[in-house]
Structure 1
Amino acid sequence: MDRGSRLGEYVLEEKVGEGGFCEVWRGRHVMLGNVVALKVATDEGMADFLRREGVLQHSLEHSNIVRVLGGDVESHPPYLVTEFMEGGSLRRLLKEQGRLQPEEAIRVVADVAAALQFAHQKGVVHRDVKPENILFDANGTAKVADFGFWRFFEARRTHRSLALSFLSTEDVVGGTLEYMSPEQRRGEPPAPSDDVYSLGVVLFECLTGRLPAPGDRVSDFVDVGEEVDAAFAGAYVRRQKRFQDIPSFINALRAKTWRSSSKPRRHRIFADDEKGGTLPKDVRQAMKTAMRFLRSVGGSVDESDLRSFQRRGDTLLLLFSERLGLVEFLYSVSVKNGEVVEYRRRRRRR
C-alpha cells in the first residue's frame, strides 16, 4: 500500500508500524475526517486471523483496550479499523528514554493490568503482552492492542462468550519468545498466569531498560523497594510458583507504590518542647528536603505523614509514616545543611 491509497471509506496518510503479516497506517475517513488506525494485511491468507482478532477485541469494551471500530476481511487487502493512538507504543517510549521512572512504569503496568484482568474475567488470555502491543492515547493512558493470539483458558461458555467460541481454536499458536511463559513455549493449555509472566517481563524492562535473565532482580539494576523485587519474582517463575492471576501480581506492587484514595488519618508526635506549636522554619525546610528525597526513591509522603523529629546538633532526624492497608512503612531521614545524609526504611504490619 502507498500513501494516499484508499481502503473502503478511508485514505491512508502515513505508515506508522509493521509486523510479520501486516502494516499499520494512520488513515482518515473520507467524509467525516476522523483519524483512525488501519491494520492492513500484507498476506491475504491472514484474513481469518484478522477477523478472529477484530471480533474478539471489539467485544472487549474497556478503557484500557484499544477499540476496534470496523474493518473488511473480504477486501483486497483485508484490514481492521481501530482508534488511533497518538502517543505511540511503549516500545517507542523505551527506545527514546531507555527506561522509565518507577512511578511511570508502575502506572503503565497498572493500566495494562486493568485490561488483562478484564479480559481474564471474560475467559480470554492475551498471550502476546509486550511493549509493541501497549499503546498510549493523547492523555498518556496505556491501552492493550493486538489480541491476535488470544485463547479461551477454560471450557465454560457463557451467553457472552458463545458468539466467540467458534473463533477460539487450538491451532492458533504464537507470541513473542522473550515474553512467553515457559508453559506457553511448550504449548501447554493457556492460563491467566501466562499473561502475568509476560507483564512481569514488561515491568522489568520498563524499570531497567533490558530483558531479565534467570536470577535477576530489579534492584540489581535500579533503586527500587523490596516489594517491586517480590512482585517481579512472583511473575517471572514457573507456573506452579507464579501469581495465578493479575490481582495477586498488581497487589504486590501496590504495597509499595499505590496509595488508597481514602487516606487514613495520622497523628503527629512531636518532641515535648514542640507540642502544640507550629513547626520551626528549619524543621519545615528539612521536611521538604526529606519529602523530595523519599519521593525520588518511590515513597509517597506529604506533610501529614511526619510523625516526629529530633535535633542532633546541626542534623535533624525526621520520622515519616506511610500506611498502605495493613502495612506501614517508617522512613527515617537525617538532613544536614539542606541535604539528606542518612536514610533508613522499615516495614511493619499493623
Structure 2
Amino acid sequence: MREAPGIELLEQVSVTNLSEVWRGRSVSFGAPVAVKFAAGPASAASLSAEAEIASRLVSRGLTGIVPAHFVAYPEPHLVLPWMGGRTLRHIIDGIRTEDDRGRACRILMHVMVNTAAVHREGVLHGDLKPENILIGEGYLPWLTDFGMARLIHTARLDNQVSRSLDTTGEAWGGTLPYLPPEGLHGDPPSLSWDVYAIGVMLHEVLMDRRPDRAASPEALRAYLPWEMVDLLVASLAWSPADRLPDMPRFCDRLRPYQEELALTGIARIGIRIQRRCMVGVGAFFILYRHLCALALLATYAGIVVLAVLWRAPIVLLCFLPFVILHFVVRWEGPETNEEAALRKSGQVKSGA
C-alpha cells in the first residue's frame, strides 16, 4: 500500500511504467491533492527534477504551470493540487461540433502561449501531449509532467524504445505519437520537440486525427487555409532543421489566424460567410478579367477579317479603342515605390 505523510489516499487514478498517480486529501487542510509516486530510481530522479523546474517557473511568474512539491521519504513522490482529473484529451475526444472545435482551439492557444513562456526561460517540457495538459476552472489549461525529457532520452539510449511503442496507456502513456522522429533515434532533446508535439495536437483538433493518419498537404488545403497548412507542415517537419525551432516563433506564425480559429457561435458563422463572400468576389473579378480578354481576342480577329475582306484601311482605326481597353484590362495598379526603385536600378525593365 502506498503511503504519503499527511495525505489520505482516496483512489488510484493512473499507472504507467514511470509513475503511479493517486487522488488524495490533505489531512491538515482537507484540500484535494494529486500524489505521483515514482516507479523506480530513474523515475524518482525525474520527479525531483520536475518539482525543481515547476518551482522555478512559478517563481518567475509564469502562469498555467502546476506547482509540485517533492517528498523523498518514505518513498519518492510528488504532491500537486488536484485539478479535477480532466485533461485536453477529454476535450479533443469530445469534439462534436464546430463550436467544440473552436473551444478546443482556444484552450490550445493558451497552451501555446504558456509553452512559449517556458521556452523563453530556456526550459523544455519534452513530453507534451493531451494527457499532460490538465483543464482547470474556466477551461484554463495547466502544464504538468515537467522534467521528462531527460528520462525519455535515457530510455531511448538504453534501447527501451519498445516500451514507448505501447500506446495503450499502460507503458509510456501514449507518448510516441507526439514524439518527433529524432526522439526515437536517441538524439538529444531540443525545444523543437515541443513544437512537434503542439503541431500534432493542433492537427488533431483541426482535422479530428493525428498527422500519422493525415492526407497530403495538398489534400489538407481543401479543408484549411493555405497558411494554416504551411504552418502545420513547418511544425511537423521530419528534419529538425526544417522545423520551427521553438514555440515563440510558432506563436508568431500563428498569431494572424488564432482569433479566427478560436471563434464560436455566431462569430464563427459570420467569419465563414465573410470568407466565402470574399472568395466569391475574387472569383467574379477573375472570371470577368478572363471574359474581357476573350472578348478582346474575338474582336481583334473580327476586325482583321473585315479589313482583309473589305480592303478598307479605315477599318484599322477601329483597333484604337480596343487597344486602349486592352491596356485598361491589363493594368494592375500604380507602380509602388519598391517597384520603381527596382526599375530604376535596372533589375526590372519598365513594362515587363
TM bucket, shorter chain? 0.5 to 0.7
Q: How far apart are 1:33 and its partner, in Å?
A: 0.7
Q: How far apart are 1:177 and its partner, in Å?
A: 2.1
Q: In the alignment, is the contact (CA less than 8 A) between 1:99 and 1:205 conserved in 2?
A: no
Partner of 2:44: 47
Q: Greater shift after overlay, 187-196 or 37-46?
A: 37-46
Q: CA distance change for structure 1 residues 183 and 116 in 2, over 3 Å: closer, same or farther? A: same
Partner of 1:255: 256
Spell out, residue by residue over 1:177-201, the C-alpha distance to the aligned partner (whole angstroms, 9 max, x if none).
Answer: 2111122222223321121111101
RMSD of equivalent CA atoms: 3.4
Partner of 1:147: 146
Q: Greater shift after overlay, 35-44 or 89-98?
A: 89-98
Partner of 1:295: 268
Partner of 1:156: none
Partner of 1:180: 179
Which is helix-richer, 1 or 2?
Answer: 2
Q: How far apart are 1:223 and its partner, in Å?
A: 3.9
Q: How many pairs align?
A: 258
C-alpha distance in 2 between matches for 1:30 and 1:179: 38
Structure 1 residue runs of 5 or longer lacking an equivalent are 152-167, 260-290, 301-317, 321-329, 334-341
Q: In the alignment, is the contact (CA less than 8 A) between 2:9 and 2:22 conserved in 1?
A: yes
- Where in structure 1 do 4 or more consecutive aligned residues deviate above 6 Å? 291-294
Spell out, residue by residue over 1:209-264, the C-alpha distance to the aligned partner (whole angstroms, 9 max, x if none).
Answer: 322137644974994333322221110102222112212222332222327xxxxx
Q: In the alignment, is the contact (CA less than 8 A) between 1:22 and 1:42 conserved in 2?
A: yes
Spell out, residue by residue over 1:155-181, the C-alpha distance to the aligned partner (whole angstroms, 9 max, x if none).
Answer: xxxxxxxxxxxxx99747587221111
C-alpha distance in 1 between matches for 2:225 and 2:277: 15
Give the TM-score of the pair, scaled to structure 2. 0.63
Q: Per the alignment, in what secondary structure is the counterpart of residue 125 of structure 1? A: coil
Q: How far apart are 1:115 and its partner, in Å?
A: 2.3
Q: How far apart are 1:38 and its partner, in Å?
A: 0.9
Partner of 1:32: 29
Partner of 2:10: 13
Q: CA distance change for structure 1 residues 94 and 141 in 2, over 3 Å: closer, same or farther? A: same
Q: Per the alignment, in what secondary structure is the counterpart of residue 31 of structure 1? A: coil
Q: Give the partner amino acid of 1:250.
A: C
Q: Give the partner amino acid of 2:102.
A: E
Q: In the alignment, is the contact (CA less than 8 A) between 1:99 and 1:209 conserved in 2?
A: no
Q: CA distance change for structure 1 residues 20 and 229 in 2, over 3 Å: closer, same or farther? A: same
Q: Give the partner amino acid of 1:230.
A: D
Q: In the alignment, is the contact (CA less than 8 A) between 1:90 and 1:131 conserved in 2?
A: yes
Q: Per the alignment, in what secondary structure is the counterpart of residue 28 of structure 1? A: strand
Counting aligned pairs with the same residue, the percent is 29
Q: CA distance change for structure 1 residues 143 and 20 in 2, over 3 Å: closer, same or farther? A: same
Q: Does 1:246 align with 2:247?
A: yes
Partner of 1:233: 233
C-alpha distance in 2 between matches for 1:241 and 1:296: 35
Q: Per the alignment, in what secondary structure is the counterpart of residue 7 of structure 1? A: coil
Q: Per the alignment, in what secondary structure is the counterpart of residue 191 of structure 1? A: coil
Residues 276-315 of structure 1 correspond to what in structure 2 (within 5 A)? 295-296=268-269, 299=271
C-alpha distance in 2 between matches for 1:84 and 1:43: 23
Spell out, residue by residue over 1:274-329, the C-alpha distance to the aligned partner (whole angstroms, 9 max, x if none).
Answer: xxxxxxxxxxxxxxxxx9777148x38xxxxxxxxxxxxxxxxx9x5xxxxxxxxx
Q: In the alignment, is the contact (CA less than 8 A) between 1:47 and 1:74 conserved in 2?
A: no
Q: Give the partner amino acid of 1:258.
A: E
Q: CA distance change for structure 1 residues 193 and 180 in 2, over 3 Å: closer, same or farther? A: same
Which is strand-richer, 1 or 2?
Answer: 1
C-alpha distance in 1 between matches for 2:243 and 2:255: 17
